[in-house]
Chains A and B, each alone.
Chain A
Amino acid sequence: MGLKLYLDLLSQPCRAVYIFAKKNGIPFQLHTVDLLKGQHVSEQFLQLNCQRKVPVLKDGNFVLTESSAILIYLSSKYQVADHWYPADLQARARVHEYLGWHTDNIRGIFGVPLWTKVLGPLIGTQIPEEKVERNRKNMFESLQRLEEKFFGDGTFLTGYQVTVADLMCLEELMQPVALGYNLFEGRPQLTAWRARVEEFLGANLCQQAHGRILSIQEQAAKNTLPVPYPEVQSRMMLRIARIP
């Protein structure tokens, strides 16, 4: 029984896990958990993760949630190249420092545009313009802080080589980019960093990972997205209510 990854590539942390596994040639069985179709609230998925969230890893009988925990687990188990999660005490500390900062400053903020532009309207909910604008402002302030704190020494977020930190960050930023926000305009450092990460990952892998999120707005415009059923919609409303 091999490694299984339960993912929806609509989700930023899922993409980080997917890219990591693919780039490192880690063999896994992909189980797509289609969030729009409510597959995360099925009885079957509930058995796997009572929190009804993706990503989830299943390695034999061992089930693991939380993308950063999954990335670290995969790094250690499959003995990937050291740069991803360096053994060096200080280099590793810098990765954890980024991951902690990421949770407060990036996570929860950059995912909002998908809700305001696609998921809210999909269930007939318009998020007030004031909230859209506040989110836009929050994103730009976060990017400012990101550049100030992590773009000093080094060509990547925590040093001179790609780490899991770069993956987590890139995938969050891809979310609003896919929804038409020009986050990178006027930010040459950020643009150069993104180019370096994507070059390292390779165009094919980026296309594979980003295809779903990049096409979501078009699908919404063409009305080809599945309309979530009531139980999923009420969960979506709860998430929408948390948008500041």
Chain B
Amino acid sequence: MVLELYLDLLSQPCRAIYIFAKKNGIPFQMHTVDLRKGEHLSDAFAQVNPVKKVPAMKDNDFTLSESVAILLYLTHKYKVPDHWYPQDLQARARVDEYLAWQHTTLRRSCLRALWHKVMFPVFLGEQVPSETLAATLAELDVNLRVLEDKFLQDKAFLVGPHISLADLVAITEVMHVVAAPSLKGIPSWLPGTIELRQWWERSSSVRPMRSS
């Protein structure tokens, strides 16, 4: 039975998995779990993931949740090119370090920025107090600076000369604020330096921007 992925491409971690599987030619059956329709709350989906969150994966009888766990599972099972998650101990540790760091920092900032800048005012008609929005964008700025100063520095990609899982996870987070509807391209309000934008361009050119 082919691998099954339960995803909503509205979700950053789902996008990372989708892109990874497509880019590496991993055959899978896509099950869209429409979050806006509450499909993740259904009993059927609870059979796959009792925690009722996406992404989720089913490989015959083995079900798995948590995006990093799924990405690493796919990495090992399908023996993808080494650069995604290098064998070299220290290079690999750098990927692990980024994946751990981003979970409570950049991930949180990008999600909050999208909600406070776009989702609440544009889709739910609720204005977010300007102090709240300012604090959210300030936090995003701090995290983007760490992304640049600690992780990217003067390298082409986050952990070295080649793209890895770290870049994939980072880019799907950052695009959450960049590619939101009603915004075209990288908006001027998104904090970030030239180096960050150039990394964005490099990462985008390595992977397909749309599903094939």
Contacts and interface: CB of A to CB of B under 8 A. Distances in A.
Contacts of B50: 148-149
A50 interface: yes
A73 B89 contact: yes
A62 interface: yes
Q: Which of B62, B92, B93 has the most CB of A within 10 A?
A: B93
Given A50-B150, A66-B101, A101 B96 contact: no
Interface stretch (B25-33, B66-74, B193-201): B66-74
A120 B97 CA distance: 30
Main secondary structure of the interface of A (DSSP, over half): helix
Contacts of A145: 51
B103 A93 contact: no
B150 A96 contact: no
Interface in A64-87: 64-69, 72-73, 76-77
Given A89-B73, A97-B64, A149-B50, A51 B146 contact: yes
A172 B161 CA distance: 36
Interface in B96-124: 96-97, 99-101, 103-104
Interface in B136-164: 146, 149-150
Contact of A69 (B76, B77, B93): B93
Contact of A108 (B51, B89, B104, B146): B104
A101 B68 CA distance: 10
A103 B103 contact: yes
A4 interface: no
B90 interface: yes
Given A66-B101, A108-B104, A96 B69 contact: yes
B104 A107 contact: yes
A224 B209 CA distance: 58
B46 to A, nearest CB: 12
A104 B68 CA distance: 13
Interface of chain B, helix or strand or loop or mixed? helix
Residue from B65, B76, B96 whose CB has the most chain A CB atoms within 10 Å: B96
Contact of A64 (B72, B93, B146): B93
Given A100-B103, A108-B104, A148-B50, A93 B72 contact: yes
A225 to B, nearest CB: 27
Nearest to B66: A100
B160 to A, nearest CB: 13
Contacts of B146: 50-51
A196 interface: no
Contact of A51 (B76, B100, B150): B150
A104 B149 CA distance: 25
A89 B76 contact: yes
Given A62-B90, A76-B89, A96 B72 contact: yes
Contacts of A72: 92-93, 96
B70 to A, nearest CB: 8
Contacts of B66: 96-97, 99-101
Most B CB atoms within 10 A — which of A51, A66, A67, A103? A66
A44 interface: no
A51 B101 CA distance: 11
A65 B105 CA distance: 14
9 contacts: A64-B93, A66-B100, A76-B89, A89-B73, A99-B68, A99-B69, A100-B103, A103-B103, A103-B104
Interface of A: 50-51, 62, 64-69, 72-73, 76-77, 89-90, 92-94, 96-97, 99-101, 103-104, 107-108, 145, 148-149
Pairs A-B, 7 closest by C-beta atoms: A100-B66, A96-B69, A69-B96, A66-B100, A69-B97, A97-B69, A73-B93
Interface of B: 50-51, 62, 64-70, 72-73, 76-77, 89-90, 92-94, 96-97, 99-101, 103-104, 146, 149-150
